[in-house]
Structure 1
């Protein structure tokens, strides 16, 4: 249904493109499928045509790079007038930052140049159907039943056996290869899912962007047999990369399996997949031995320990060296929080940091870390980087404290650096711009941490006035054995150098990884190959 282009015969399109040859070819084809075409040679013309013909226009197709006003600037203005108008962006694959910016604006679809006309017509049909048939129970991209359909179906039976399947860090694929290619990956993943889980025996849903659900139509199916089938699927996905054009894209997935007679299978599947991720298990079956109640009690225990730890000085910074990759000489240290238990045990942040954030106790930790950093700077003349989250930056109370401490230590401020956690979503860039501007006044360098994890936004790097970018450890671990990781890290490094900021590789744990990072040309390196995080006294 979505690929049917007959829906286009009665629509009017606005087409903005400055390249005459491409415009002529595309326009001639569009004339054969659409009722009317309004043509602009730049964004300014396109915007004016839209203002004059808003009630008539059904769909917009636009280039990005155009004179006078580019396509993204035009889209911003048009979205102010009509936020629901379907828009398709045509751009080159190399212009990743434009695709990322288009996502923020709210563009529906993307087509890569040179334009595949068949694909363009399909995207046009999809965009229109998306806006016209919002209440359908079918996922637009994969044609699988969606979350709404799932909710209705779950009402019909309390007895369920299901597996929730999550593509790990899928947003990274969108950021590195473009959303268009991300959609192609999802389609191939969906096709493979349907081949492994026969439709006569299983129902398959796409419940979120990167989450799928497989429900057995036979509740009495042996759960171990179901596990074996899921494991076979997981092995296949992780052993065989998805091929998109000339690109091989490696996928990792996490699967949570649950069975219930009282209507709780979906809830259990959500819980066990979260538990599996925490334990770094690719596939787990939910059962009472996990004792989720026990984990709740552990959370409550840590909330109390964090509160008391702030008062009793249990939190200390440990400092991991960051070295010049070429010389291995220490350039600076990263301050990493540790909890020192009553018996002297040093507890890593993996145990308590997420709990601190969810319990709104994290601002206390950033305050401690800044003071710890200045203590090392002043007493041992070292350069120190401190992690800071967007939540910290957006908090007026936290930032008031940060500025106060920096002001009190202004003569040492140029030795303090901040690493903005890129893996956490930034909802208001104006706050980040303001923070960086203020830090520059004090002479503090600012970098982006964990780049390559989460939703990695190349466009963000260009627009933020940062000094360096730290490449996420997931891309550095095993880089000596993965050609794909080498290509991605080299791309990030070249991109960074093009825009004038340094690069840092974290999780450099062995000589082979160090040699690969050094060959790529990453400026600085950090990891256990050089040294573990050190206490103040050990430095």
Structure 2
């Protein structure tokens, strides 16, 4: 019939016609070609259907002469709500005055009665240009306005009050129940949001797979009132499971709220929701204390500084001693990155390391640290440990550089150790095992750093061919006063000894902590009690 007739299967139409016989015949045919049909017997009924189902309806077909409200009056009211909705007018040839009026109010498609169904379907397919454009602004799954529509709407207002709502750990739900059930859940979740935040006062959007936005139509409303409503919504979600078929799914949400002008509300909610996650808070309202602009400026500054430091050799290693717990003699040093600015100020990695990772510059830093450590080994015959992350190990370019450097310095690398950062999630044991076997074959020792923090599990220790375990400082710093921490550290130490791993305690900052570490038979100690990180010339 027409080339793109199959595309009509995706659309939902509103069909208004008062003549029953014609309505039944036409509707019967339309059911075979379109996804869904809303049917009205007069203009007033058609208008009410459109108001109720505006987000679903893609196309309107209407008669002109109808009781209660004629088709043109209905069109005028609908155009006030959505001036872009495509409308096809069906009318007799004799009613030319209606066609002229229809053109005046923005109707550019018409079909003459008696209706030629081939012609009607052709005209409908031509109207799908709007449907394609609409997809740019409508989420196909939930039929909510999408991120594009949100940004467009925010551009039209001087100030906005909005909330960003994120379903916690939605990827886990997909893994447990499957994507089909995950999609059903999102549809139900979107319906719950719309129930809580009425269309009279709020606009609701789906921004990403598990992220939704709610914008107050009255930006001047009390932000505390908005926060209370958001809190009620969050509690409702937490207290009421969503049922998908026979599956009961419990959800939690995190919500960030902001009120701002100059199109900043969306940026602020994104930032504040990240703070909320880090602080394990359900709801957080943005205020000036977050210093978002200063944070951005600081990030930009440090990306430039890192690039400059790499280019000009401003990154150097400082070395902190690690001592034998029983004799207090220095056994080895840990190499720790420092940035020396133009004023000679020594800057710790807390200022720049995370930014270097996000800017994809971190791999260059591990190369610097490796060369620095080997330099100290060559000059002073000291044993040196270097940190390496899971990201470094999975980066083939980085590991090749490491292997090449070790091969070039074979006679020295027996004094080199690698500490794998255990606080980073290791999800590919085969890759880590390959790395460990390779560097150990060249004479290096390998251990796990920060054990007891992040993703710690004893099964990981038994699966990796390591030599030592460094216990995270968060478990050590209060071990002299915390019985719980003593028990955890003792468990790690006993487990390690049974499997032949040496143990190292970080953050040993006082005589009291040292005595407790000694009592627990930890092999080595590291911390300010024995020495701060120092430059190479001070060792």
**Pair member with larger Rg:** 2
Contact 2:317 2:337 (C-alpha < 8 Å) held by counterparts: yes
Name the TM-score, length of structure 1 as normaliser.
0.55
1:270 equivalent to 2:293? Answer: no
Look up the SS of the partner of 1:338 in the other structure. Answer: strand
Look up the SS of the partner of 2:333 in the other structure. Answer: strand
Residue 529 of structure 2: aligned partner: 529
1:496 equivalent to 2:496? Answer: yes
Post-superposition offset of 1:352: 0.1
Look up the SS of the partner of 2:351 in the other structure. Answer: coil
Residue 455 of structure 1: aligned partner: 455
Look up the SS of the partner of 2:393 in the other structure. Answer: helix
Post-superposition offset of 1:283: 11
Q: CA 1:367–1:266 in structure 2 vs 1: closer, same or farther (change >3 Å)?
A: same
1:337 equivalent to 2:324? Answer: no
Contact 1:202 1:214 (C-alpha < 8 Å) held by counterparts: no
Post-superposition offset of 1:495: 1.0
Post-superposition offset of 1:483: 1.1
Residue 292 of structure 1: aligned partner: 292
Q: CA 1:480–1:343 in structure 2 vs 1: closer, same or farther (change >3 Å)?
A: same
Q: CA 1:133–1:358 in structure 2 vs 1: closer, same or farther (change >3 Å)?
A: closer
Post-superposition offset of 1:390: 1.1
Contact 1:137 1:149 (C-alpha < 8 Å) held by counterparts: no
Contact 2:419 2:446 (C-alpha < 8 Å) held by counterparts: yes
Structure 2 distance, partners of 1:325, 1:213, is 47
Look up the SS of the partner of 1:495 in the other structure. Answer: helix
Residue 393 of structure 1: aligned partner: 393
Structure 2 distance, partners of 1:308, 1:500, is 44
Residue 468 of structure 1: aligned partner: 468
Post-superposition offset of 1:440: 1.3
Post-superposition offset of 1:393: 1.0
Deviations 1:193-237 (A, max 9, x none): xxxx99699656499x9995587xxxxxxxxxxxxxxxxxxxxxx
Structure 2 distance, partners of 1:147, 1:501, is 52
Post-superposition offset of 1:260: 3.6
Contact 1:321 1:530 (C-alpha < 8 Å) held by counterparts: yes
1:303 equivalent to 2:303? Answer: yes
Post-superposition offset of 1:457: 2.0
Q: CA 1:163–1:146 in structure 2 vs 1: closer, same or farther (change >3 Å)?
A: farther
Post-superposition offset of 1:288: 2.4
Name the TM-score, length of structure 2 as normaliser.
0.55
Contact 1:504 1:523 (C-alpha < 8 Å) held by counterparts: yes
Post-superposition offset of 1:381: 1.1
The alignment yields a C-alpha RMSD, in angstroms, of: 3.9
Residue 320 of structure 2: aligned partner: 320
Residue 346 of structure 2: aligned partner: 346
Q: CA 1:312–1:198 in structure 2 vs 1: closer, same or farther (change >3 Å)?
A: closer
Post-superposition offset of 1:311: 1.4
Contact 1:276 1:284 (C-alpha < 8 Å) held by counterparts: no
Deviations 1:253-281 (A, max 9, x none): xxxx745489758535314336869xxx9
Counterparts of 1:407-486 in structure 2 under 5 Å?
Answer: 407-486=407-486
Look up the SS of the partner of 2:426 in the other structure. Answer: coil
Contact 2:322 2:524 (C-alpha < 8 Å) held by counterparts: yes
Look up the SS of the partner of 2:387 in the other structure. Answer: strand
Counterparts of 1:148-159 in structure 2 under 5 Å?
Answer: 155=204, 158=216
Structure 2 distance, partners of 1:458, 1:424, is 15
Q: CA 1:515–1:398 in structure 2 vs 1: closer, same or farther (change >3 Å)?
A: same
Total equivalences in the alignment: 333
Q: CA 1:322–1:203 in structure 2 vs 1: closer, same or farther (change >3 Å)?
A: same
Contact 2:324 2:525 (C-alpha < 8 Å) held by counterparts: yes
Residue 42 of structure 2: aligned partner: none
Post-superposition offset of 1:439: 1.2
Post-superposition offset of 1:322: 0.5
Q: CA 1:133–1:162 in structure 2 vs 1: closer, same or farther (change >3 Å)?
A: farther
Residue 373 of structure 2: aligned partner: 373
Post-superposition offset of 1:379: 0.5
Post-superposition offset of 1:131: 10
Look up the SS of the partner of 1:427 in the other structure. Answer: coil
Ranges in structure 1 where 5+ consecutive residues have no aligned partner = 1-105, 109-126, 139-144, 165-196, 216-256
Q: Tell me whether 525-534 or 268-277 shows the greater mean CA deviation.
A: 268-277
Contact 2:319 2:534 (C-alpha < 8 Å) held by counterparts: yes
Structure 1 distance, partners of 2:338, 2:410, is 26
Deviations 1:403-433 (A, max 9, x none): 1111111101100000001111122211111
Counterparts of 1:33-432 in structure 2 under 5 Å?
Answer: 155=204, 158=216, 203=236, 205=238, 213=253, 258-260=257-259, 264=266, 266-273=269-276, 286-432=286-432
Residue 514 of structure 1: aligned partner: 514
Q: CA 1:386–1:200 in structure 2 vs 1: closer, same or farther (change >3 Å)?
A: closer
Structure 1 distance, partners of 2:298, 2:172, is 43
Contact 1:150 1:205 (C-alpha < 8 Å) held by counterparts: no
Look up the SS of the partner of 1:480 in the other structure. Answer: coil
Contact 1:339 1:348 (C-alpha < 8 Å) held by counterparts: yes
Contact 2:257 2:285 (C-alpha < 8 Å) held by counterparts: yes
Post-superposition offset of 1:152: 8.0
